[in-house]
């Protein structure tokens, strides 16, 4: 029987190619520091790795949404604090204005301060974060409060009645604030106001209060004082709700941290390469490859060997 020289050479070339491929794979794994670089390395592990990376990407998007909500809520809390202080001050001024011993000059000064505080409230209601108005509902590009005579109100509300909500997934949402209408007692589409005991918006209420103080109408001032106090308590209550929303953001952040930790552990288990073992394997494969090259060189140096008759 004759052994084909060409056939034997082809067999040697195939062996060298397989050995070279194994060396290349080990070099690739060591370079990347990962056991699974391609689907063919370990299809089952590669599938789990792909799912884990997808989940990590989704977590990144969720964290971005949570940070946006936290930023909005931080600005809302600061604005609500300013509103609460302004309304508390208006209530204090209304109590002072009920004193029958006040002179006209003192009443004018009190009325002027109430009007100033009203502008402070409007400025707080127009608070924004990087150009996004936080109390305009979902119309975040619209300044929610403007002075206007067209509406018949001292201050018109131009936002809508849909409070901002951030969607973390198809099943999870995160309320992140309030509308200006809810803050300052504007009626909704059905004509209902957040405060049933106050039949006007805060700005109209303060305008009425300032006028009543100027006139020295103690009875009207007393009536309006109770309504101003109700508005103050309403804003304080909303600030408490904002605190609950902040806590919920923190809970979602903690949940994201825990999920990311589990995913990182899974990736380490499925992906990470045992560097020491890989270096040992690489050394063994290089030795085998060099041996195969040497054997091939010696065999090719004796061409008659493959033409012998068995």
pLDDT at 78: 94
Answer for the pair 85, 117: CB distance below 8 angstroms, yes or no: no
pLDDT band for position 45 (cuts 50, 70, 90):
low
Whether the CA torsion 190, 191, 196, 201 is positive or negative: it is positive
* Six token digits for residue 172: 């999870």
pLDDT at 20: 56
Answer for the pair 285, 26: CB distance below 8 angstroms, yes or no: yes
Q: Tokens 């918006």 map to which residue?
A: 201
Rounded average pLDDT over 30-46: 55
Cα–Cα dist 233/231, whole Å:
5
SS3 (DSSP) at 129: strand
Query: Is the pLDDT reported for residue 9 higher than 70?
Result: no
Q: Model confidence over 247-269: pLDDT tens digits? A: 988 998 898 889 888 887 777 76
Residue 155 DSSP label: E
pLDDT band for position 309 (cuts 50, 70, 90):
very low
Give the residues across from 165 on adjacent strands: 175
Count of CB atoms situated within 10 Å of the CB of 142: 13
Query: Is the pLDDT reported for residue 137 higher than 50?
Result: yes
Answer for the pair 84, 233: CB distance below 8 angstroms, yes or no: no
pLDDT at 194: 93
Query: Is the pLDDT reported for residue 174 higher than 90?
Result: no
Domains, the chain, in order of start with CATH, read: 53-266 (1.20.1330.10)
pLDDT at 51: 81
pLDDT band for position 52 (cuts 50, 70, 90):
confident
Query: Is the pLDDT reported for residue 298 higher than 80?
Result: no
SS3 (DSSP) at 219: helix
Answer for the pair 306, 9: CB distance below 8 angstroms, yes or no: no
Q: Model confidence over 149-168: pLDDT tens digits? A: 766 789 999 999 998 888 87
Strands 128-129 and 145-147: unpaired
Phi-psi region of 72 (alpha: psi -120 to 50; beta: other; left: phi over 0): alpha
Q: Tokens 């809390």 map to which residue?
A: 77
């Amino acid at each position: 029987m004759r052994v084909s020289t060409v056939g034997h050479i082809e067999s040697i070339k195939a062996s060298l190619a397989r050995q070279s491929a194994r060396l290349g794979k080990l070099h690739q794994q060591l370079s990347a520091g990962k056991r699974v670089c391609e689907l063919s390395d370990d299809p089952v592990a590669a599938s789990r790795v792909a799912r884990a990376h997808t989940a990590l990407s989704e977590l990144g998007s969720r964290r971005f949404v949570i940070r946006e909500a936290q930023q909005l809520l931080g600005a809302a809390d600061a604005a609500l604090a300013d509103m609460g202080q302004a309304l508390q001050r208006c209530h204090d001024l209304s109590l002072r204005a009920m004193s029958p011993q006040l002179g006209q000059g003192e009443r004018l000064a009190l009325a002027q301060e109430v009007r100033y505080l009203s502008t402070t409230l409007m400025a707080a209601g127009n608070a924004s974060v990087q150009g996004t108005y936080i109390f305009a509902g979902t119309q975040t590009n619209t300044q929610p409060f403007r002075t206007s005579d067209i509406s018949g109100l001292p201050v018109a509300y131009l936002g809508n009645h849909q409070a901002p909500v951030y969607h973390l997934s198809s099943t999870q949402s995160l309320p992140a604030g309030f509308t200006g209408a809810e803050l300052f007692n504007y009626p909704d589409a059905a004509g209902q106001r957040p405060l049933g005991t106050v039949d006007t918006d805060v700005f109209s209420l303060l305008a009425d209060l300032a006028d009543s103080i100027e006139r020295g109408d103690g009875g009207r001032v007393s009536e309006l004082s109770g309504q101003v106090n109700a508005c103050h308590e309403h804003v304080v209550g909303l600030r408490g709700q904002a605190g609950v929303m902040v806590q919920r953001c923190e809970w979602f952040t903690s949940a994201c941290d825990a999920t990311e930790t589990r995913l990182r552990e899974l990736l380490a288990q499925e992906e990470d390469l045992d560097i020491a073992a890989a270096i040992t394997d690489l050394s063994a494969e290089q030795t085998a490859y060099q041996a195969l090259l040497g054997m091939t060189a010696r065999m090719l140096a004796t061409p008659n060997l493959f033409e012998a008759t068995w």
